[in-house]
Amino acid sequence: MSYISKSVSTLEETRTGLCDEFVSVTGSDGAVAQCYLAENDWEMERALNSFFEADMEAVFTVVDSPKKDTSPPKVKRQKLDKPQGKIDWYTPDVVFLQELIEPYVQYLKKRAVSYTIIEGGEEGYFTGLMLKKSRVKLLNSDIISYPTTQMMRNLLVAQVTFRDQELCVMTSHFESCKGQAEERMKQLSVVLKRMREAPTNVTVLFGGDTNLRDAEVTMVGGLPGGVCDVWEQLGKQDHCRYTWDTKANSNKSLPYVSRCRFDRVYLRPAKEGPGSRMTPDHMALVGLEKLDCGRYTSDHWGIYCSFIL
């Protein structure tokens, strides 16, 4: 009898550990974790695949064109809770992603076939770039290490051409948490140095989860000449100020309200040629509606930007 009790106890402990791991990866809660794991015979990889496939199906619905068309399918996205201006909800040319995991990347590769997908890592969670094949041509890409990171963070860089103009697109996930300000500022300095030193005929666009506080930007000397913060350039509009907002986003259960502009987009237009006329046009937050499971797509709001070139 004691042997049976011990076995049951060990099984419960194992399943509790699996639930905790599932929650840490997906940002869901214990009930959701138990449901997906139980439905998939407590196999973690199957459960994660099932969760992210359901998540993606809820966010994206492919719309078939009534006429024969060789162009990429249009995609219907969730509407904004409070639309601010006109947004063109066609598939974007470039997508900057953070906190990817391998099962999610594999699902994206199956579904988003009209995109070239570049991964910024293989282990844990990492960044990524999606480039629309019909409009953006990849020339090369590179992963730049942050020498003193404690959280496996790096800078993902891709050289591309868009409408015969050369662009450098970059994304990163800076060190998290208030106590990591010093490391975060080092990482920001790496990004700004690469933007500043890019060839004069190249336009540079950075977008990522910076975890920055405004004071930290000031402490590194601010943005260099020629580099603009797109949100600031567009007039510091309140409707897209806070990308981390526990007052509105319930994915994280915190005992306090935190509202920060962690996610940022920086632009350095080319100094010569047509790219020198590239300017920000519009910014909005996305992911503001809950999915069918009762949760938001992320604990951060996403940023949607358009530019005039």
* Residue numbers annotated as active site: 209
* CB-CB contact of 284 with 92 (8 Å): no
Contact 158, 179 (CB under 8 A): no
- Partners of 235 in beta bridges: none
Taking the C-alpha atoms of residue 143 and residue 4, their distance in angstroms, rounded to an integer, is: 51
**Cα–Cα distance for residue pair 71/74, rounded to 1 Å:** 9
Among 171, 203, 170, residue whose Cα is nearest residue 280 = 203
* Of 264, 259, 189, 279, the residue nearest 231 (C-alpha): 264
The helix (H) or strand (E) run that includes residue 193 is: helix 181-197
Residue 279 sits at φ, ψ, to 5 deg, of -135, 150
* 209: number of Cβ within 10 Å: 23
Instruction: Please report where in the chains the tokens 């076995």 appear, as a residue.
Output: 7
Using CA atoms, how far residue 12 sits from 21, 31, 45, 227, in Å, is 14, 15, 19, 54
Alpha-carbon distance 281 to 267, whole Å? 12
